[in-house]
Amino acid sequence: MKKIMKKLKKKFKIYDPKLKEECAVFGISNNEDAATLAALGLHALQHRGQEGCGIVSYDGEKYHSEKRFGLVGDNFNDEKVIKKLPGKYAIGHNRYSTTGGTALRNVQPFFADTNSGGIGVAHNGNLTNAITLRNKMVQEGSIFYTTSDTETIVKLIAKSKRAKTIDKVIDAMFQIQGGYALVMMTQNTLIGVRDPFGIRPLVIGKLKNSYVLASETCAFDIIGAKFVREVENGEIIHIENDEIKSIKPFPPKKVRPCVFEYIYFSRPDSILNGKTAYEYRKNFGEQLAKEDKIEADLVVPVPDSGNAAALGYAEKKGLKFDLGLIRNHYVGRTFIEPSQQIRSLGVKLKLNPNISVIKNKKIILVDDSLVRGTTSSKIVKMLYDSGAKEVHVRIASPEIKFPDFYGVDTPTKKELLAANKSTAEICEFIKAKSIKFLSLNGLYLGMGFEQRNENYPQLTDHHFTGEYPVKIIDELGEDKVTQLSLLSTASNN
Ligand code: AMP
C-alpha cells in the first residue's frame, strides 16, 4: 500500500487520495426558521456522519456559515449559533470521518463567490474522476484548500463560462463522475442534484410554503415536512420560493441505487423506493432464514445494525428473539473511529454481553454485513466468554469482496475479509461454530425483485459482484483499484 501511495503522490503531485465520504445533506427554501430546521434535519441524519457539521444560510443580502467538529446536537443547540445564520434559505451537511482529511476546512457546506453570485455546496458521495479533474485544474493554475472532492465541484461551477448559475451547475455535472447527491444554494434558490445512476439518495419534502431536500426521509419527519418524492437519477431540482422545476440534462438511464443504503446506511425508518429500510432489512433476515437449515435456542441481533434482519430471521424460523448484547448508545458507529486499533477497541466500548440471556445457549447471531470481520470476531468471543454453548453467525447480506468508490466507506480489497478468505476461513477467523451469508439472489428477493437482472442489475451491487456501474480504468497495485479516472458511463444505459 505504501508503494502505491508513493506512486500516486508522485504521479499526481499535490493529491492526497483521502476523499471518501458518506455524509448527509439537507436544504430548505423560503422559511423564516431555515437554520433551525436545517439543524433539526441534520440531527435526524446524524447516523450518516459524525465528524463535523455545518450550515450555510442566505438572508437576502449575505451568506452566513457556521461549521463545527462533532455532533449537530452539541453544536447547533442554542439561539446564539442559530442567530448567526439568518435568512429564509439554508443548506447543511454532516461529514463522515474517514482516515485522514480531518480538518475544519474539510467540513461542509463549501461556499464560493462566482461571477453570477455566491454558491454554497453540500455533497454526499464520492467522485470517481476527482483526481483527474483536480490535477487538470491545478495545472491550469487553480489553488485547492481542502482534500475534499466537493471543492472540485465548487471550482468547476465557478469556472464555467455559462452566464446563469443553474447552467454552470449543469456544466459541472457533465464533467464529474461517480455517486453523488448535492444540495446547493445560490441566493434565493435551492438546487438538488442526483448522479446519473441515482447511486446516492436524495429526497424532496414539503413544509407549508417551503421545499426541503435531504439525504433521507427521516429528516422530514423531525420537522413535520411531507415526503413528496425522490429526486430521480440524473435529475436536477431547482427551487425558488415555492416553485419547483425539474431539469434532466443527462441521457436517460435506469436507476441503480446503492444496495448499501438498504442494507446498512439509511436509518431504519427512512423510506427508500416506497418502503422503509426496516422492511427491507427484515426481508433480508427472512430470506436468510429460508436459505438456512440450522436450529438454535435463540436469535440474537448485533444491535442496532442487525436488529431488523434478526427479527425477520427469528419470525421466519419461529425461533425466540432475545437481546444477548446490550448497546451503549453514547458511542458512535465503530467505523467512525479512524484507525484499526481504535476500531477494535470500539466494539468493546459499544457492546456488552447480557449474560442472563446467553449462558449455555445455542445462539444464532445476526448482523447486517461483515466487512473486516472486526465486529463479528469480538462479539463471538464475548458470547463464548459469557458462557454461550454455540455461536452461529448469520449475515443478512452477501460476502463483500470488492471496495466501494461511490461514497460508502468500505476499505481496500486487502482489508475486506471475504475478498481474501473462503467462507470456511472466515468462520475460522471469527471463531464461530458456523457462518452463513445471504445469497445474492436472496438479497434481490428481499428487495422485492423476482431475481437479479444480470444484464442490468436493479441495484449498484459491486460490493458483492465487482460490477461497477461507473467503470474504473486505473488499476494500481495488487490490493486496490484506485479512483483515478473512469470510463464514460454512456455504455451503461
Ligand atoms: P466489520 O466489523 O469490519 O466486519 O464491519 C461490520 C460492521 O460494520 C457491521 O456491524 C455493520 O453494521 C457495520 N458496517 C457495515 N458497513 C459499514 C460502513 N460503510 N460504515 C460503517 N459501518 C459499517
Domains in the chain (CATH in brackets) are: 20-256 (3.60.20.10), 277-328+339-447 (3.40.50.2020)
Question: Given the C-alpha cell 454554497, which residue does it identify?
Answer: 120
- Give 273 Cα–ligand 1 centroid separation in angstroms: 23
Q: Residues enclosing ligand 1, CB less than 6 A?
A: 264, 302, 305, 333-335, 367-376, 408-410
Q: What's the whole-model pTM score?
A: 0.89
Per the CB < 8 A criterion, the answer to whether 463 and 402 are in contact is yes
Per the CB < 8 A criterion, the answer to whether 326 and 351 are in contact is yes
* DSSP 3-state of 52: strand
Tens digit of each residue's pLDDT, the chain (493 residues): 344 444 444 443 333 334 345 799 999 999 999 999 999 999 999 999 988 999 999 999 999 999 999 999 999 999 999 999 999 999 999 998 653 356 788 899 999 888 889 999 999 998 888 888 988 999 999 999 888 889 999 999 999 999 999 999 999 999 999 999 999 999 889 999 999 999 999 999 999 999 999 999 999 999 999 999 999 999 999 999 879 999 999 999 999 999 999 999 999 999 999 999 999 999 999 999 999 999 999 999 999 999 999 999 999 999 999 999 999 887 755 444 556 666 556 566 789 999 999 999 999 999 999 999 989 999 999 999 999 999 999 999 999 999 998 888 777 899 999 999 999 999 999 999 999 999 999 999 999 999 999 999 999 999 999 999 996 643 433 333 333 322 222 222 2
What single string gives the DSSP state of each residue in 34-57?
HHHHHHHHHHHTGGG--SEEEEEE
CA-CA distance, 471 to 406, in Å (whole number)? 11
- Give 186 Cα–ligand 1 centroid separation in angstroms: 36
The cell for 11 is 504521479
The candidate with the shortest Cα–Cα distance to 171, out of 252, 250, 256, 255, is 250
Q: Which residue of 264, 327, 342 sits with most ligand 1 atoms within 8 Å of its CB, as the best mutation to test the pocket?
A: 264
Per the CB < 8 A criterion, the answer to whether 283 and 446 are in contact is yes
Q: Write down the pLDDT at residue 4.
A: 43
3-state secondary structure 114-132: ECCEEEEEEEEEEECCHHH
Q: Write down the pLDDT at residue 60.
A: 93
Q: Write down the pLDDT at residue 15.
A: 34
Query: Catalytic residue at 23?
Result: yes
Residues in Cβ contact with 151 at an 8 Å cutoff, skipping those fewer than 6 apart? 110, 134, 144, 145
- Give 78 Cα–ligand 1 centroid separation in angstroms: 33
Residues in Cβ contact with 5 at an 8 Å cutoff, skipping those fewer than 6 apart? 17
Eight-state DSSP code of residue 154:
H
Q: Which atom of ligand 1 is nearest to the CA of 367?
A: 10
Question: How far is CA 405 from its chain centroid?
Answer: 11
Number of CB atoms found within 10 A of residue 38's CB:
34
CA-CA distance, 388 to 365, in Å (whole number)? 11
- Nearest CA owner, ligand 1 atom 23: 335
